[in-house]
Amino acid sequence: MQNAAIAALGLNWCYLAFEVRPEELRAALAGARAMQFVGLNLTVPHKSLAMDMVDALDESARTWRAVNTLRVEGRDRNRAWLPIHQFTHEPPDKVRLQGFNTDADAIVRSLREDAGLELRGKRVLLLGAGGAGGVAALKVASEDVAELFLVNRTPSKAASIAAEIRRRHPNVRIQLGYPRGEVDLAMNATSLGLAPNDPLPLDEQQFSLRQARTVYDMIYRPAETPLLRAAKAAGCRTANGLGMLLYQGAKALEIWTGRPAPVEVMRQALKKNIYG
Ligand code: NAP
């Protein structure tokens, strides 16, 4: 999706994938800085490791405590930090890496645009408290939901996220475990559903999909997970995580270029790559 967008914007850039071992991340980032890459994306487990390895953190990275996007910046004569690709004539006197997080906003944008859901005042059940689930829980809470229910295989992880939410958003009612009655949204942030024979990510003895108006699965491959299939059969509105992937990438591209991302070009490229 990034290369399709880069072509659509007429930029002479190229987006490449590198496999980096966590113990080599610091060296890889130093290399990207030295080679003056325009920017980088990071995926697990590098998102949290990079927090201590960058020169500056945007507020988004500080808020969500994870870096998924890096911009290489140069310092100009006036001591202002600018994207490195803007230095076409005179080289910068210093180069730095600034870390951003585009994942959290992408969750809310995908819920709004792909599932037609505004979170304010809503009751939400979130399944999973790993990297993606933790960011989703904090972001959903920051959108002034009325009530948030957290369920995770390892309850202590959900408990520590709940404690953080109570500190940051005292107005949100947060509970561990399944809700009674209806919820506006049930969201899967576990990895259950990636493999074809995975069980559903929820305990059907404790929660029926008929209690959920909308079901969102962060998984996008397969396009229809067993959870989404069951949710459709129960009459729920559904969406998968493709939009999350798309919008975090679109925002990253905007951070690098300073220009609006060609979102539809990116969506089509992503669909073609993932679903054929
Ligand atoms: P992670 O940090 O490894 O967390 C995995 C989560 O799944 C944890 O809550 C874990 O529970 C739970 N889990 C794993 N196996 C389980 C099992 N057998 N039974 C019950 N729960 C189980 O991974 P992540 O990065 O948060 O990713 C989570 C999901 O989100 C993945 O499916 C990933 O593909 C998806 N994702 C999508 C996007 C997107 O752009 N659409 C972005 C990021 C992630 P424990 O805490 O008990 O281990």
Is 272 noted as a catalytic residue in this protein?
no
Q: pLDDT tens for residues 118-161?
A: 999 999 999 999 989 999 999 999 999 999 999 999 999 999 99
CATH architecture of 105-240: 3-Layer(aba) Sandwich (3.40)
Task: Find the 130 Cα to ligand 1 centroid distance in Å.
Answer: 6
Roughly what angle, to the nearest 10 degrees, separates helices 263-275 and 242-257? 130
Give me the residue spans of the domains in the chain.
2-101+245-275, 105-240
Predicted pLDDT of residue 74:
98
Q: pLDDT tens for residues 164-186?
A: 999 999 999 999 999 999 999 99
Considering the chain, what percentage of its residues have pLDDT values greater than 90?
97
Predicted pLDDT of residue 154:
97
Q: pLDDT tens for residues 190-228?
A: 999 999 899 999 999 999 999 999 999 999 999 999 999
Task: Find the 191 Cα to ligand 1 centroid distance in Å.
Answer: 4
Residues with CB under 6 A from ligand 1: 44, 128-133, 152-154, 157, 189-192, 194, 218-220, 241, 244-245
Predicted pLDDT of residue 196:
87
Has domain 2-101+245-275 been given CATH number 3.40.50.2300?
no
Backbone angles phi, psi at 156, to 5 degrees: -60, -30
Q: pLDDT tens for residues 50-106?
A: 999 999 999 999 999 899 999 999 999 999 999 999 999 899 999 999 999 999 999
Question: With helix as H, strand as E and coil as C, how does 145-214 read?
Answer: CCEEEEECCCHHHHHHHHHHHHHHCCCCEEEECCCCCCEEEEEECCCCCCCCCCCCCCCCCCCCHHHEEE
Residue nearest to atom 3 of ligand 1 (CA): 130
User: How far is it, in rounded angstroms, from Cα 122 to Cα 119?
Assistant: 5
Q: Quick check: 92 and 36 in contact, CB under 8 A? A: no
Average pLDDT over the chain, rounded to an integer? 97
Plot region of 50 (φ>0 → left; ψ -120 to 50 → alpha; else → beta):
alpha
Our mutation pick for probing the ligand 1 site, out of 68, 191, 244, 275, counting the most ligand atoms within 8 A of Cβ, is 191
Return the SS3 of 216. strand
What count of Cα atoms within 13 Å lies in the side-chain half-sphere of residue 222? 12
The pTM of this model reads 0.95
First to last CA, the chain: 13
Asked if the model's pLDDT at residue 44 lies above 90, the reply is no
Q: Quick check: 99 and 73 in contact, CB under 8 A? A: no
Domain 105-240 in the same topology as domain 2-101+245-275: yes
Our mutation pick for probing the ligand 1 site, out of 190, 242, 270, counting the most ligand atoms within 8 A of Cβ, is 190
